[in-house]
Amino acid sequence: MVIIMLGAQGTGKGTVAGIISENTELVQLSTGDIFRKNIKEETKLGIEANKYIAKGNLVPDDITVPMVVGYLDSDIAKNGVILDGFPRNLAQAEKLDKILEERGKKVDLVVNLTTPREEIIDRILTRRVCSNQQCKATYNLKMHPPIKEGICDKCGSKLIQREDDSNEEAIQKRLEIYENETAPLVEYYRKKGVLRTEEVSVKINRLGKQVAFDIIKDIKDK
């Protein structure tokens, strides 16, 4: 099974994908984590990707696609995947369809998360992540703080703020890029009949955990 997470940064894609992954055999593949791993290891693709990420720009397809395909073809993804952060535009979506078709697979479900813009910005600025790449737990200082300040509840590692989460101007730019380049994917997948849109917001008292378990129930009922 292949699930795609859509939604601007800060809508809770990673949280929802993580809960689904923990309760199914599907593995969560976050392009953000893939980028950070390559950047930390200073691979050729990682060095090139960092030039764009540091400026709040999207990483070009000729860097992104090879990274994602490498993971799709690995044993990690043999039982199915949840793609978090890919595809980001129509060209990538079409490439993904072709890649999956060549492997006898298809996109089964696209989860589109929506959240008010001002809430997104606040969420990103107050977001903290576990520095342990094997854990990848995410917290929010207001909505979901760790039990012990600065320490991950799950593994005890230090919590950090991603560099691209600390600059509001860069966040605004990322949201504009999303609206211009990624939002059209909503219509693309709606036409394919695989789109599921969910609003995630404190204003309606519906957060990612509720959405995730509703999706898990539907997956297991099929």
The closest of 79, 112, 80, 114 to 93, measured between CA atoms, is 112
Mark whether 128 is an active-site residue: no
CA atoms within 13 A on the CB side of 149: 1
Distance CA 78, CA 190 (A): 26
With the C-alpha atoms ordered 53, 57, 58, 59, is the resulting torsion angle positive or negative? negative
Alpha-carbon distances, residue 23 vs 34, 38, 67 (angstroms): 22, 27, 26
Q: Distance between CA 101 and CA 95 in Å, rounded? A: 10
**Which position among 36, 128, 136, 174 bears the catalytic label?**
174
* Catalytic position from the list 51, 148, 162, 192: 162
Residue 190 annotated to the active site:
no
Beta partners for residue 83, in sequence order: 4, 29
Question: Is 174 a known active-site residue?
Answer: yes
Gap between the terminal Cα atoms of the chain: 12
Active-site position among 36, 123, 127, 128: 127
88 is catalytic: yes
Q: In whole angstroms, what is the distance from residue 49 CA to residue 39 CA?
A: 7
Q: Which of 88, 95, 123, 128 does the annotation list as catalytic?
A: 88
Is 206 an annotated catalytic residue? no
So which residues are the catalytic ones?
Answer: 13, 88, 127, 162, 174
